[in-house]
Amino acid sequence: MTELGAARVAVYLDFDNIVISRYDQVNGRNSFQRDKAKGLEEYPDRLTRATVDVGAIIDFASSFGTLVLTRAYADWSAEINAAYRGQLVGRAVDLVQLFPAAAYGKNGADIRLAVDAVEDMFRLPDLTHVVIVGGDSDYIALAQRCKRLGRYVVGIGVAGSSSRMLAAACDEFVTYDALPGIPVFEPPPPADDEPGPKRRSGRKKSVEPSEAADDEPDPQVAATGLLTRALRIGMEKDDADWLHNSAVKAQMKRMDPSFSEKSLGFKSFSEFLRSRAEVVDLDESSTTRMVRLKDKA
């Protein structure tokens, strides 16, 4: 019998999305399509590096409550996906078969996943959480609808391949890379014969993978700005200089659901705050840690 008030979680995995995004992340931008054209079996080392840990995803999802259903959407006849079938079935994941709907290979996972998720919310009114595994911006509308229907929405996507607008539409968004036990790889530099923009002669510039992919601001700088804004909002709201660090983190998560101190390389939020000593003061004299902006000292 289900415990009254217990959290009940539905998990939906756009499996192609997470597999391809992880492959490109660890092997270089657009490497999946290039290697697929030549034959992925020719690159066993790259496939091994890019292996997705399904257990880490499901274990994280289970931290929100009881898993009521877990579905993975993909073309399971494709060899790269078929290799995961045993692992998925072993974790009681329902495999939803999709087939490419056009020559360019679009398999319609986003449409089928969204339709199933909305149907499940009406069919299972006791669902409290919806976990969407996939960083595609096509899921923004689904995340917004789930929230309007009273569900807590968690997004999981690969860093560098996830829509920031999707992250903002979720209640919480985490990168696959930040999940416990997931190894961090630096993608190799592009080969000279790989397609892409040529550098100007006489100039040498190193382009980081994240910069090449999204041209996004430095995540450390962005996190500092987020921290500063959260503190200013908290001070204005509570009319106090010192704020509980847990309240500050909660406000940061509300402003940017993708924020995670672990994805920035810190073991705890307190460690993150200590690294911003030029911006904030942290009082750790008691078990209740307090923080304030430097300019309010």
CB atoms within 10 A of CB 164: 14
Residue 181 has pLDDT above 50, yes or no: yes
pLDDT at 188: 63
Mean pLDDT on 207-216: 43
Mean pLDDT on 219-231: 91
Mean pLDDT on 172-191: 78
pLDDT bucket at 20, cuts 50 / 70 / 90: very high
pLDDT bucket at 199, cuts 50 / 70 / 90: very low
**Max alpha carbon distance in the chain (Å)?**
71
Mean pLDDT on 189-207: 43
187 in Cβ contact with 28 (< 8 Å) = yes
pLDDT at 203: 36
pLDDT tens digit sequence for 36-84: 989 988 999 999 999 999 988 998 898 899 999 999 999 999 999 999 9
pLDDT at 103: 46
Provide the mean pLDDT of the chain: 84
pLDDT bucket at 217, cuts 50 / 70 / 90: confident
Q: Which of 15-24, 136-145, 178-187, 228-237 has the lowest mean pLDDT?
A: 178-187
Residue 266 has pLDDT above 70, yes or no: yes
Residue 185 has pLDDT above 80, yes or no: no
User: What does 136-194 look like in DSSP terms, one character per residue?
Assistant: -GGGHHHHHHHHHTT-EEEEEE-TTSS-HHHHHHSSEEEEGGGSTTPPP-PPPPPPTTS
Phi, psi (rounded to 5 degrees) for 125 = -65, -15
Measured between alpha carbons, how far is 285 from 264 in angstroms, rounded to an integer?
26
All domains in the chain, ordered by first residue: 8-178 (3.40.50.1010), 219-296 (3.30.420.610)
| Amino acid letter for position 183 | P
> Residue 224 to residues 106, 178, 262, 268, 291: CA-CA distances in angstroms?
39, 19, 14, 15, 14
Measured between alpha carbons, how far is 48 from 245 in angstroms, rounded to an integer?
40
Measured between alpha carbons, how far is 210 from 219 in angstroms, rounded to an integer?
10
Q: Which of 92-106, 160-174, 180-194 has the lowest mean pLDDT?
A: 180-194
Q: What is the DSSP letter of 296?
A: G
